[in-house]
């Protein structure tokens, strides 16, 4: 067998209509439905279910008992043609579940590239997940949730439907998220969710310079650790902080928020941070 040959284990059930690109590996007892497309060198280790109208990119890995493309858990769904679209180089560990979209939610559940989903993670209908995210064991998204690039969702944390998690945000384990998490922040807790400042360690690991992190801290301090309300803080940032991609990331995220922001500060002394 060469690297470009498709391997299908004798115990696997693969519909003849399924589209398998070169180098795909289908392990024991896997099931692949007729509307599924699998990209080059993607591997289904064993007991993996791929159904519905599902498209998967190159070099993804699915651990045993992954279930992808199943019907949305939504009482209004009536069997319509809705999709799951998954990018490249994603890792899906044991027992993850990904539901396809609903007509009312845009019809597609989307996952980008280079994400890591640990065991028992759940991605519900119409969710949009970016690139380079990490979902720790049992992380759960309700429907219509957006998780942006480089975000981390902690173990056994749940995110309420229609909430958004910004770039480079970090959600601690066992959290309940019912409002939007601003980019670059650390949050944790369950009713209420507490804000623990900037995700500085995560930003340093991603190569952010000290100057860049300090500028982010300045904006976050104005937004959440001052006496200003959100509108006043946004105005002050616009006036005092030179335009940068990080500034625009924060301002556009706030502008587009419909559920409000996680703002309850866990450490009031941080008002005086430098």
Show which residues are catalytic.
125-126, 143
Sheet with 83-86: list strands edge to edge.
19-20, 37-38, 53-56, 83-86, 108-111, 128-129, 146-147, 164-165
Would you list the DSSP string of 73-114?
A: S-TT--S---EEEE-SS-EE-TT-EEE---GGGTSEEEE-SS
Q: Which residues pair with 177 in a beta bridge?
A: 159
Q: How many CA atoms lie within 13 A of 106 on its CB side?
A: 14
| Close Cβ partners of 158 (under 8 Å, ≥ 6 residues apart) | 140, 142, 175, 176, 177
Kindly report the length of the chain.
274
Query: Measured between alpha carbons, how far is 135 from 127 in angstroms, rounded to an integer?
Result: 14
Per-residue CA distances from 191 to 98, 123, 185, 262 (Å):
26, 22, 18, 11
- Residue 71 per-residue DSSP state: P
CB 74 within 8 A of CB 57: no
Strands 176-177 and 170-171 come out as: unpaired
CB 170 within 8 A of CB 187: yes
Query: Measured between alpha carbons, how far is 39 from 87 in angstroms, rounded to an integer?
Result: 9
Q: For 6-11, which contacts have Cβ atoms below 8 Å and span 24 or more sequence positions?
A: none
């Amino acid at each position: 067998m060469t690297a470009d040959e498709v391997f299908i284990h004798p115990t696997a059930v693969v519909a003849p209509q399924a589209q398998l690109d070169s180098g795909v590996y289908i392990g024991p007892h896997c099931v692949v439905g007729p509307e599924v497309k699998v990209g080059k060198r993607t591997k289904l280790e064993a007991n993996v279910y791929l159904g519905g109208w599902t498209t998967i990119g190159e070099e993804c890995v699915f651990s045993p008992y992954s279930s992808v493309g199943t019907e949305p858990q939504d009482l209004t769904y009536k069997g319509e043609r809705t999709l799951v679209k998954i990018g490249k180089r994603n890792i899906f560990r044991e027992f993850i579940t990904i539901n396809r979209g609903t007509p009312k939610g845009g019809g597609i559940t989307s996952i980008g590239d280079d994400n890591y989903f640990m065991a028992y993670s759940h991605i519900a209908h119409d969710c949009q997940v970016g690139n380079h995210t990490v979902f720790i064991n049992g992380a759960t998204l309700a429907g219509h949730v957006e998780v942006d690039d480089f975000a981390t969702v902690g173990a056994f944390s749940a995110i309420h439907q229609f909430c958004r998690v910004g770039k480079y945000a970090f959600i601690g384990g066992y959290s309940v998220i019912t409002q939007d998490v601003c980019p670059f922040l650390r949050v944790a807790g369950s009713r209420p969710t507490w804000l623990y400042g900037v995700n500085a360690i995560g930003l340093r690991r991603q190569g952010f310079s000290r100057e860049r992190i300090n500028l982010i801290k300045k904006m976050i301090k104005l937004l959440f650790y001052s006496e200003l309300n959100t509108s006043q803080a946004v105005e002050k940032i616009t006036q005092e902080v030179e335009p940068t991609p990080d500034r625009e990331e924060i301002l556009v995220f706030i502008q587009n928020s419909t559920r409000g922001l996680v703002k309850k500060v866990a450490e009031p002394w941080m008002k005086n941070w430098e």
